């Protein structure tokens, strides 16, 4: 079985990292597999470019112009629109790359990675791993998280472009009938509700995780001694991203401080950490530490290990990579039951979720369960459950089964 994983890149974002981990999981199972990307940043010999290197500068220039045009059309901070329906500079070269594979597994393909029309012409079985709602939501990757964004999306030209794009994707999905892999149960429900793909073609398979690089270093002293300092971690690639719940953070911390009399520290990890720290200075009695975005997995694992809980306030997300990283070292996750985060907290065994984005409800759920100590959430136990659910070997074998059935036409 020869598998081609198609992705925009091989590192940088959660979707790319998930695809790259899957690549190496398949190779470890002696499966012939290549990852084909538009932007290559790792030195892996199993990753190939989808574009002729001679035209790389030309493609980057076209991408730059495309990005500027899309920003003129939809100028919303931390959000991008992607079409996927226009011809690209790499179609002939990419077709040659895909010719010898038995099956194509499509991951995140924004930024003009490929024209989906080309995929429909290649006579190969296709499995799509959805990392967000883009395949069933036209131009956009997630619903709007505030009234201003919703208002902008109602502009007539955006609505028209969205309708055209969604129609093209709908035609593709109904004609090709790909299998769809969803990393979370929440995302699978969204796909089922759109009625574009037969339910038997929809699978929930979590993203794979390499636990060998992420170790549990200590048990939290906080849960043994109520007078200990509570160390909270808040981490995001961009700490100004509204979808990640940064606007809630200040209010939530104030509620925490009102309900807990001990010392609290919070570490902000990600780009724009200085900016967010300035916004949080008004919260009295909470020590704020900042670290710019960290890519090194060993350093990241140490950061998670140094804290007592991960606070994740995303208003919508698929399978948040930061939360998977947290439970991989046994760190409890606290947040809001929106999107696919509940797949990571294991029914309260690895964290606490509020039912909505209401600040009082968040505080009322998290404070009694976590801030006052919960002996059930031991790090070793959380890590053990995480390994059972997200280990690369287990996840990769499930992918293999889907690929085999698809190739055999089942």
Burial of 65 (C-beta count, 10 Å sphere; 0-12/13-18/19+)? exposed
Q: Are residues 256 and 295 in the same domain?
A: yes
**Token code pair at residue 155:** 């502009």
Q: Are residues 219 and 126 in the same domain?
A: no
Helix (H) or strand (E) holding 65: helix 56-73
Q: Are residues 177 and 320 in the same domain?
A: no
Total count of domains within the chain: 2
Which domain covers residue 145, as residue numbers?
2-208+391-407
Q: Are residues 246 and 332 in the same domain?
A: yes
Q: Are residues 110 and 256 in the same domain?
A: no
Q: Are residues 224 and 350 in the same domain?
A: yes
187 contacts 130 by C-beta, under 8 angstroms: yes
Q: Are residues 200 and 245 in the same domain?
A: no
Q: Are residues 356 and 280 in the same domain?
A: yes
Q: Are residues 84 and 228 in the same domain?
A: no
From first to last of the 410 residues of the chain, give the pLDDT tens digit: 899 999 999 988 889 999 999 999 999 999 999 999 999 999 999 999 999 988 889 889 988 998 899 989 998 877 888 999 888 878 889 999 999 999 999 999 988 899 999 998 888 999 999 999 999 999 999 999 888 889 999 999 999 999 999 999 999 999 999 999 999 999 999 999 998 888 899 999 999 998 988 888 766 655 555 557 889 999 988 888 888 888 888 888 888 888 777 788 999 998 887 888 888 877 778 888 888 888 788 899 999 999 989 999 999 999 999 999 999 999 999 999 999 999 999 888 888 899 888 888 888 887 766 655 555 568 888 999 999 999 999 999 999 999 999 999 86
d(CA 154, CA 5): 35
Q: Identify how many contiguous H helices and E strands the chain contains and give both numbers.
A: 15, 13
Q: Are residues 204 and 216 in the same domain?
A: no
Q: What pTM, to 2 d.p., does this model score? A: 0.91
The residue whose two tokens read 């609290």 is 264
Q: Are residues 234 and 369 in the same domain?
A: yes
Q: What CATH number does residue 69 fall under?
A: 3.40.50.2000
DSSP, collapsed to helix, strand or coil, labels residue 352 as: strand
């Amino acid at each position: 079985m020869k598998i081609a994983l198609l992705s925009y890149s091989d590192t940088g974002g959660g979707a790319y990292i998930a695809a790259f981990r899957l690549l190496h999981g398949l190779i470890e199972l002696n499966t012939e597999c290549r990852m084909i990307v538009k932007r290559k940043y790792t030195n892996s010999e199993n990753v190939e470019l989808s574009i002729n290197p001679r035209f790389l500068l030309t493609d980057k220039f076209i991408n730059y112009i495309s990005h500027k045009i899309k920003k003129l059309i939809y100028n919303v901070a931390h959000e991008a629109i992607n079409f996927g329906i226009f011809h690209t500079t790499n179609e002939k070269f990419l077709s040659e790359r895909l010719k010898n594979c038995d099956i194509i597994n499509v991951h995140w393909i924004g930024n003009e990675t490929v024209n989906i029309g080309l995929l429909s012409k290649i006579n190969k079985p296709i499995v799509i791993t959805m990392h967000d709602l883009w395949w069933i939501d036209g131009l956009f990757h997630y619903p709007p998280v505030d009234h201003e964004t919703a208002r902008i999306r109602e502009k007539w030209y955006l609505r028209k472009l969205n309708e055209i794009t969604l129609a093209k994707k709908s035609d593709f999905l109904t004609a090709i009938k790909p299998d769809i892999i969803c990393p979370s149960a929440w995302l699978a429900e969204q796909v089922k509700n759109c009625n574009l793909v037969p339910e038997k073609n929809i699978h929930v398979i979590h993203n794979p995780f390499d636990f060998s690089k992420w170790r549990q270093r200590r048990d939290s002293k906080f849960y043994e001694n109520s007078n200990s300092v509570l160390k909270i971690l808040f981490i995001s690639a961009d700490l100004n991203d509204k979808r990640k719940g940064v606007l809630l953070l200040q209010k939530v911390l104030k509620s925490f401080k009102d309900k807990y009399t001990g010392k609290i520290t919070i570490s902000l990890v990600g780009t724009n950490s200085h900016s967010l720290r300035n916004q949080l200075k008004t919260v009295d009695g909470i020590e704020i530490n900042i670290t710019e975005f960290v890519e090194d997995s060993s350093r990241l694992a140490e950061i998670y290990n140094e804290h007592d809980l991960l606070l994740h306030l995303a208003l919508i997300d698929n399978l948040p990579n930061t939360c998977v990283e947290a439970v991989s070292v046994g760190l409890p996750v606290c947040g809001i039951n929106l999107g696919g985060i509940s797949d990571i907290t294991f029914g309260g065994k690895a964290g606490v979720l509020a039912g909505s984005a209401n600040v009082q409800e968040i505080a009322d759920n998290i404070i009694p369960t976590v801030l006052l100590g919960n002996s059930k959430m031991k790090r070793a136990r959380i890590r053990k459950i995480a390994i059972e659910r997200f280990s690369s070997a287990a996840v990769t074998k499930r992918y293999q089964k889907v690929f085999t059935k698809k190739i055999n036409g089942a």
